[in-house]
Chains A and B, each alone.
Chain A
Amino acid sequence: MFHWLEKRPFFFGVGIFIVISFAGLVMIVPHFVEQARPVVGTKPYTTLELTGRQLYISNNCVACHSQLIRPFKNETDRYGSYSLSGEYAYDRPFLWGSKRTGPDLMRVGNYRTTDWHENHMMDPAAVVPGSIMPAYPWMFTNTADVDTGWAEAETVRVVFNVPYNKDIPLMDGSVVQVPLASTVEGGRAEALIEAQAVAAEMKNQDVKDAVAAGKIPEIVALIAYLNALK
């Protein structure tokens, strides 16, 4: 039987394939039937937050920052309560990371402010002496690609049924809605309103001027995303 297989490259290849796909069939595939359900209070990202998340991705922040708090006392002391599966229900892709050159950011929105991020992104070592994080000054001048942020939100709404414009239950029993405009123009307008709120708390005059002129610098979108991490 074995000898028969070894002489027939095609069936031999099929045999190899069966053996290597075995683990995936047992571990990965059945799990997908039980889709991840969001925990109470988990909201989808707004257009501006998703735009910021895309910047977090394209600048590969995940190379140094995790978004996964493990259930150890030192981690919950340092970063907040440990991660639950449902909290990631709207994370496409997941951004857990595998290396902490810098600290975890899963709940950074709970303990850092817009002001802190503004100073830190411009010059990390000035805020945290000894920091080896690079500075990101160009994010204050580059304009964010809000269209793609809206496109992603619209896509996940259509394809994965992400509950935009629907009631989302919160811990205190109340409900909240995350609005999503039906056109890209509407998405831009929504993002601009959010951006104005962020820019109002910032000091950089160029950023304030840009937002006043209807443009959204990358830093504003990124901070909106970081503030949403809770």
Chain B
Amino acid sequence: MFGLTLGEFQAYGYFALTTFAVVMLYGYIYHLYSSEKKGTKDYEKYSNMALHDEITDELVEKKEEDSKTEDSKQDRET
């Protein structure tokens, strides 16, 4: 494939995918902290899902029927 031996293909594939995964992981760390700092999203509030889990308790985040429009709206609000 592409003039490479299987071993070479495996090695390049491995390198490319691992680099991608590392970039994603650091991107995720950046996302977690920056979104909290900017106030667009507070991940820590999700801990409350375990603490306030009675069926009568208030929802941490309501599930909307039309998630496409609501997502962006809620992102701006929170």
Report if A and B associate in a common complex: yes
- Measured between beta carbons, the chain A residues less than 8 angstroms from B6 are 30, 33-34
Question: Is B17's CB under 8 angstroms from A26's CB?
Answer: yes
Using a Cβ–Cβ cut-off of 8 Å, how many residues does chain B contribute to the interface with A?
Answer: 15
Determine the interface band of chain A, counting residues with CB < 8 A from chain B. Answer: 10 to 19
- Measured between beta carbons, the chain A residues less than 8 angstroms from B27 are 2
- Measured between beta carbons, the chain A residues less than 8 angstroms from B67 are 7-8
Main SS class of interface, A: helix
Q: Whole-angstrom distance from the CB of B37 to the nearest CB of chain A?
A: 15
Main SS class of interface, B: helix
Question: Is A26's CB under 8 angstroms from B41's CB?
Answer: no
Complex Cα gap A4–B6 (Å) = 36
A19 contacts chain B at the CB level, 8 A cutoff: yes
Q: Of residues 47 to 78 in B, which have CB atoms within 8 Å of A's CB atoms? A: 67, 71, 75
B35 contacts chain A at the CB level, 8 A cutoff: yes
For B70, give the chain A residue with the smallest CB separation. Answer: A7
- Measured between beta carbons, the chain B residues less than 8 angstroms from A33 are 6
- Measured between beta carbons, the chain B residues less than 8 angstroms from A7 are 67, 71
- Measured between beta carbons, the chain B residues less than 8 angstroms from A92 are none
B32-51 vs A: 1/0 string, CB under 8 Å?
00010000010000000000
Which residue in B10, B31, B41 is a CB contact (below 8 Å) of A30?
Answer: B10
- Measured between beta carbons, the chain B residues less than 8 angstroms from A1 are 31
- Measured between beta carbons, the chain A residues less than 8 angstroms from B41 are 3
A160 contacts chain B at the CB level, 8 A cutoff: no
Question: Is B14's CB under 8 angstroms from A26's CB?
Answer: yes
A1-22 vs B: 1/0 string, CB under 8 Å?
1111001100000000001001
Complex Cα gap A229–B17 (Å) = 42
- Measured between beta carbons, the chain A residues less than 8 angstroms from B75 are 3
Q: Whole-angstrom distance from the CB of B65 to the nearest CB of chain A?
A: 13
For A22, give the chain B residue with the smallest CB separation. Answer: B17
Which residue in A2, A26, A34 is a CB contact (below 8 Å) of B13?
Answer: A26
Complex Cα gap A23–B31 (Å) = 25
Residues of B that sit less than 8 Å from A by CB:
6, 9-10, 13-14, 17, 21, 27-28, 31, 35, 41, 67, 71, 75
List 19 A–B pairs whose Cβ atoms lie within 8 Å, in order of A's numbering: A2-B27, A2-B31, A3-B31, A3-B35, A3-B41, A3-B71, A3-B75, A7-B67, A7-B71, A8-B67, A19-B21, A22-B17, A22-B21, A26-B10, A26-B13, A26-B17, A30-B9, A33-B6, A34-B6
Closest 3 CB pairs of A and B: A30-B10, A26-B14, A2-B31
